[in-house]
Amino acid sequence: MAKAGPDRDQIARKLGYDRAADLVLHLPLRYEDETRLTPVDAAPHGQPVQVEATVVEQEVRRHPRRQLIVTFRDSHPDMPEDTPPIRFQSRWLHFYPSQLTQLAPGVRVRLFGELRPGLFGSEMVHPRYRVVKPETPLADELTPVYPTVAGISQAAIRKAVQAALAEGPLEETLPEWLLADLGLPPFKQAVLQLHRPPPDGPRAQHDTTQAWRRLKFDELLAQQLSLRQYRSARQQVQGRALLDHEGLTDRLLKGLPFRLTAAQDRAWTEIRRDLAGDHPMHRLLQGDVGSGKTCVAALAALTAVGSGHQAAVMAPTEILAEQLYLKFTEWLTPLDIPVVWLAAALKPKARQSALEALASGQARVGIGTHALFQEEVRFQSLALAVVDEQHRFGVEQRLALRDKANTDLTGHAPHLLMMSATPIPRSLAMSYYADLDVSVIDELPPGRTPILTRVIGQGRRMEVINRLRDLCLAGAQAYWVCPLVEESEKLNLKAALDTQAELAQALPDLEVGLIHGRMKGDEKAQVMGRFKAGDIHLLVATTVIEVGVDVPNAGLMVIEHAERMGLAQLHQLRGRVGRGARESACILLYAAPLSDTARRRLAIIRDHHDGFAIARADLDMRGPGEFMGARQSGQAMLRFADLEADLDLLEAARSRADRLLRGDPARVVAHLARWLPRGLRLSQV
């Protein structure tokens, strides 16, 4: 006898739920049709079918490996008497001794699987089967196939789900008017249909049947409701009004070698107004690479400091954070504002002193990677958290930051400023980012020269090297970015070393330098210093120069294996040239043959210079999930709905959420209890 299966609570927990009742929303991935029998000679190859058959003989073969082979005769009930027997075989590479007794000659079974042409007629490998009598009734519903994890069988999930359905609650959480408005079926009807569909029922999640639409709408509505609740909760929270009575921001503005662009000024005005308000700001600052977001962030940080509090500035990688640290130090040191650095790589002693400086309030601004928001980091009085390149943080990190932000030593909620060079697609703006205010810097500082971009095959590498020599001998400087070897720092380093050797040999009259991610901070600084001073003509680099490197005399950039890089990354890299008055060029070297997609992607970079336009073209090619990276976007947090495909439902949910919140708070509570039992995990930090 089979052992008693794991209990329902246990199954629910293994599948990632807290309660057995949540299994009601554990919806099938697809269905199998066991309501019909297919004649073997009419079965479409490669599609799952159910057949009824009688065992003719069985054999355990030992070569080429041990396997059970059973020959069947088709016993489809409608088969005319005089039909010659139609035979097929099934193979099991893993089988139990009990199967040998079970599948004795003459036994009638129903098998479910795919029939394929084999050596001896049709063949079904590893079919699911059960022993039947001719009068055993067929299933009258489709058989759901559920998402599962190791160790839980489909049968166990089916049983647990059916029990959850029987127990409920399956109460309606939406009012009549809303269902009528959208023409959606009641909840109970929809879930029952999805778990136990009639033979002509829904087949897959992407089906547009009303039952699926109802569930997707519910999910999107829960997201909208929670975002709104989150937003209004935030508006209840007492924040600190930051007024910079020390006048630090004015002093910074006076000391800068440039004036803010009109767009920077607008963004700064919006941020300053939020910071002066009573509730914590949650604002996203969007602006293309090089649009000058850092200086707006510095103004915000100084507003916190000038009000007697602290600011934290976080970037997703150490190199990015380091660039911020250098900029902030340059701007804040003349104002006598102490800035500390905190990253995972810090030595224990330096780390300890950074932690102490933040906790005592001696340090006014902390800059670092997400190390800045780990458990043991305490701020004396954190009034502002700035997150640069926020879309590159994982959802978990952002949630951790939000929690952290809510627990400084004084228990106040700080203002949050998020920055991104990536425009947010409308569907994401309406969902995950719906609780944020947005400022946009839509112009670049003056004096930038446009960059000529060329796409060139590796076959013309020598030509490129010769051109590079001419330019450098005429006084320009250049970058050579090495191919990216995914997930291997070691290989990246080797590629860079090889390239440096190759170029140094081909260009004996030029000084060829090297910079890469494995170098220590002071080594990197030394190389960059020599490049800035013009002692190095050609700098071979891994993608460490992606961000923040600022050498106006650099006029040429060669990017090897550009076809392997993301568009955002290429755009960031290219942004390292064209920073001075000199005319600049960027050469995208590719290895043939290029796929159609790769060709189109490189053309996007060649033809566009505006990061927003590039992001939009990228989005058109890939859809928002991939565009943001499923992990980053939090897309994975939607289980059923697809932001793009179900945009109409998203809009419907968005436009109805307010009326529901106002008119039917009890239903809102019930709806959220069903869909977000763990509380809000959707909103972005």
Total interface residues for ligand ADP by CB under 6 A = 16
Map residues 518-557 to x or -, x wherever contact with ligand ADP holds by CB under 6 A.
--------------------------------x-------
Compute the least distance from the CB of residue 35 to ligand ADP, in Å. Answer: 59
Stretch that binds ligand ADP, among 4-12, 44-52, 223-231, 292-300 (CB under 6 A): 292-300
Stretch that binds ligand ADP, among 177-185, 234-242, 286-294, 525-533 (CB under 6 A): 286-294
The nearer residue to ligand ADP, 261 or 439, going by C-beta atoms, is 261
The rounded distance, in Å, linking the Cα atoms of 538 and 103 is: 74
Q: What are the backbone dihedrals phi and psi of residue 286, each rounded to the nearest 5 degrees, phi first?
A: -105, 140
The nearer residue to ligand ADP, 388 or 408, going by C-beta atoms, is 388
Compute the least distance from the CB of residue 516 to ligand ADP, in Å. Answer: 22
List, as one string, the DSSP characters of 216-245: HHHHHHHHHHHHHHHHHHHHHS-------T
Among 48, 202, 292, 513, indicate the residue that binds ligand ADP (CB under 6 A): 292
The rounded distance, in Å, linking the Cα atoms of 27 and 323 is: 47
Stretch that binds ligand ADP, among 171-179, 229-237, 282-290, 531-539 (CB under 6 A): 282-290
The nearer residue to ligand ADP, 441 or 652, going by C-beta atoms, is 441
Among 121, 394, 445, 517, indicate the residue that binds ligand ADP (CB under 6 A): 445
Stretch that binds ligand ADP, among 145-153, 238-246, 255-263, 398-406 (CB under 6 A): 255-263
**In contact, 275 and 384? CB cutoff 8 Å:** yes
The rounded distance, in Å, linking the Cα atoms of 553 and 581 is: 8
**In contact, 538 and 478? CB cutoff 8 Å:** yes
**178 interacts with ligand ADP by CB under 6 A:** no
**261 interacts with ligand ADP by CB under 6 A:** yes
Radius of gyration for the chain, computed over Cα atoms and rounded to the nearest angstrom: 32
The rounded distance, in Å, linking the Cα atoms of 244 and 96 is: 77
The nearer residue to ligand ADP, 291 or 684, going by C-beta atoms, is 291
The nearer residue to ligand ADP, 37 or 295, going by C-beta atoms, is 295
The rounded distance, in Å, linking the Cα atoms of 448 and 470 is: 23
Compute the least distance from the CB of residue 331 to ligand ADP, in Å. Answer: 9
Among 164, 260, 281, 367, indicate the residue that binds ligand ADP (CB under 6 A): 260
Stretch that binds ligand ADP, among 67-75, 259-267, 402-410, 677-685 (CB under 6 A): 259-267
**294 interacts with ligand ADP by CB under 6 A:** yes
Among 96, 120, 177, 258, indicate the residue that binds ligand ADP (CB under 6 A): 258
Among 111, 271, 289, 482, indicate the residue that binds ligand ADP (CB under 6 A): 289
The nearer residue to ligand ADP, 224 or 584, going by C-beta atoms, is 584
Stretch that binds ligand ADP, among 110-118, 241-249, 260-268, 269-277 (CB under 6 A): 260-268
- Name the amino acid, one letter, at 468: L
The rounded distance, in Å, linking the Cα atoms of 166 and 159 is: 11
CA neighbor of 146 nearest in space, from 31, 13, 12, 7: 31
The rounded distance, in Å, linking the Cα atoms of 608 and 588 is: 14
The nearer residue to ligand ADP, 108 or 448, going by C-beta atoms, is 448
Compute the least distance from the CB of residue 579 to ligand ADP, in Å. Answer: 7
Please name the residues in contact with 411: beta carbons below 8 A apart, sequence gap of 6 or more.
none
CA neighbours within 13 Å on the CB side: how many for 679? 2
**In contact, 49 and 38? CB cutoff 8 Å:** yes
Stretch that binds ligand ADP, among 63-71, 133-141, 258-266, 330-338 (CB under 6 A): 258-266
The rounded distance, in Å, linking the Cα atoms of 431 and 684 is: 10
Stretch that binds ligand ADP, among 226-234, 290-298, 423-431, 533-541 (CB under 6 A): 290-298
CA neighbor of 197 nearest in space, from 208, 211, 176, 183: 211
Question: Would you say the C-alpha torsion 115, 118, 122, 128 has a positive or negative sign?
Answer: negative
**420 interacts with ligand ADP by CB under 6 A:** no
**C-alpha pair distances (Å), 474 with each of 64, 469, 510, 537, 556:** 70, 8, 11, 11, 12
Compute the least distance from the CB of residue 294 to ligand ADP, in Å. Answer: 3
**517 interacts with ligand ADP by CB under 6 A:** no
CA neighbor of 386 nearest in space, from 450, 313, 442, 335: 313
Other Cβ atoms closer than 10 A to 153: 12
Residue nearest to ligand ADP (CB): 292
Map residues 201-240 to x or -, x wherever contact with ligand ADP holds by CB under 6 A.
----------------------------------------
**580 interacts with ligand ADP by CB under 6 A:** no
Compute the least distance from the CB of residue 448 to ligand ADP, in Å. Answer: 9
Q: What are the backbone dihedrals phi and psi of residue 266, each rounded to the nearest 5 degrees, phi first?
A: -65, -50
Query: What does DSSP say about strands 67-74 and 87-92: parallel, antiparallel, or unpaired?
Result: antiparallel
The nearer residue to ligand ADP, 249 or 291, going by C-beta atoms, is 291
The rounded distance, in Å, linking the Cα atoms of 442 and 286 is: 8
Compute the least distance from the CB of residue 438 to ligand ADP, in Å. Answer: 15
Compute the least distance from the CB of residue 198 to ligand ADP, in Å. Answer: 57
For the chain, counts of helices (H) and of strands (E):
23, 21
Among 214, 283, 293, 674, indicate the residue that binds ligand ADP (CB under 6 A): 293
Compute the least distance from the CB of residue 314 to ligand ADP, in Å. Answer: 14
The nearer residue to ligand ADP, 113 or 292, going by C-beta atoms, is 292
Q: Identify the residue whose tokens are 């780390």.
A: 351
Q: Where are the alpha helices (DSSP H) in 384-425?
A: 395-405
The nearer residue to ligand ADP, 291 or 542, going by C-beta atoms, is 291
**286 interacts with ligand ADP by CB under 6 A:** no
**C-alpha pair distances (Å), 486 with each of 493, 495, 544, 562:** 12, 12, 14, 13
Residues that bind ligand ADP (CB under 6 A): 258-261, 264, 287, 289-295, 421, 445, 550
